[in-house]
Structure 1
């Protein structure tokens, strides 16, 4: 069977997203064959172009008010060691006792 037809009924009325397919005719759902992509290490850089890695310590370069709280992260405030994660907010860390996600463009790497 081809990728453009249902393996159960053979019809070509399909919808799909994020690696899943569904036949509109019979309702059968299955995982789409995903081509192996070359694994590329993502490089995350701070506001000054320094490459960040897990375990680095960063400091704020701008005051940021956290949404949904009254806490404001002040300029120069340092984090605990960071962890790089996937997504829009690529840094996961702790500041002021809160676990937060930050965008790399608002921090600078602190030299130890």
Structure 2
């Protein structure tokens, strides 16, 4: 039993890699739907926890900050983070001493 095409509603479809393909109209859509695309862009901390806008994170090791003589020490809290669109490896946020930080998620854990 094949999945009907969302565009032309005919059931003449087949699986090609990670997509369904309609043989009649040529339309392609992902196997798992939109959930797989959303999950692939999920921003995760160093422990694998999903991060969202407004979360609070903690720095897990001392980091040198470009353009500043003040290092970001282990245990520093970054409140009200913002996710970077289309980039699952970086977040934006502010510490108490340094504003406008862009940090890699591999050096953070969810508080």
Instruction: Give the shorter-chain TM-score range.
Output: 0.5 to 0.7
Match in the other structure for 1:69: 68
Whether the 8 Å contact between 1:85 and 1:91 is mirrored in structure 2 is: yes
Match in the other structure for 1:28: none
Consecutive unaligned residues of structure 2, counting only runs of 5 or more, are 1-28
The TM-score normalised by the length of structure 2 is 0.60
Aligned length, in residue pairs: 75
The separation in 2 between residues aligned to 1:48 and 1:88, in whole angstroms, is 14
User: Offset at 1:91?
Assistant: 0.2
User: Offset at 1:68?
Assistant: 2.1
The alignment's C-alpha RMSD in Å is 2.1
Of Structure 1 and Structure 2, which has the larger fraction of its residues in helix?
A: 2
Which consecutive segments of 4 or more residues in structure 1 shift more than 6 A?
none
Q: Equivalent residue of 1:92, what SS? A: strand
User: Offset at 1:109?
Assistant: 0.2
Match in the other structure for 2:58: 59
Q: Equivalent residue of 1:82, what SS? A: strand
The separation in 2 between residues aligned to 1:70 and 1:88, in whole angstroms, is 28
